[in-house]
């Protein structure tokens, strides 16, 4: 995996409203693989903070997110107008 894709996966993993399923759809990377990528590319303290934040978070898991009736909730990052299919244009 190249550095650009790795950086984008890390960025998407940090976003609260981006599900692991969205990352898998775009990059073919499972939640376990995202955790490995984060562990290898972040400082130990940053990785621990991220894991604490995403563990059990409903918005990071599409099944739970949709089950709770939150599927109509949309998150739009500040650069969204520059992004086409989650790829920076």
Model pLDDT for residues 10-51, shown as the tens digit of each residue: 999 998 888 888 899 899 999 999 999 999 999 999 999 999
Question: Residues near 87 by Cβ (< 8 Å), separated by ≥ 6?
Answer: 8, 26
Encode pLDDT of 54-84 as tens digits: 887 776 766 555 555 544 445 555 555 555 5
Nearest to 22, CA basis, from 41, 36, 8: 8
Q: E strands, 1-89, where?
A: 83-84, 87-88
Encode burial over 32-66: b for 16+ CB neighbours within 10 A, e otherwise.
Answer: ebbbebbeeebeeeeeeebeeebeeeebbbbeebe
């Amino acid at each position: 995996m190249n550095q650009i894709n790795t950086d984008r996966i890390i960025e998407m993993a940090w976003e609260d409203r981006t599900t692991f399923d969205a990352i898998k759809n775009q990059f073919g990377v499972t939640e376990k693989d995202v955790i490995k990528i984060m562990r290898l590319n972040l400082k130990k303290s940053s990785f621990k903070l991220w894991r604490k934040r995403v563990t059990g978070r409903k918005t990071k898991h599409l099944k739970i997110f949709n089950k709770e009736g939150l599927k109509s909730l949309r998150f739009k990052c500040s650069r969204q107008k520059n992004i086409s299919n989650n790829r920076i244009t």
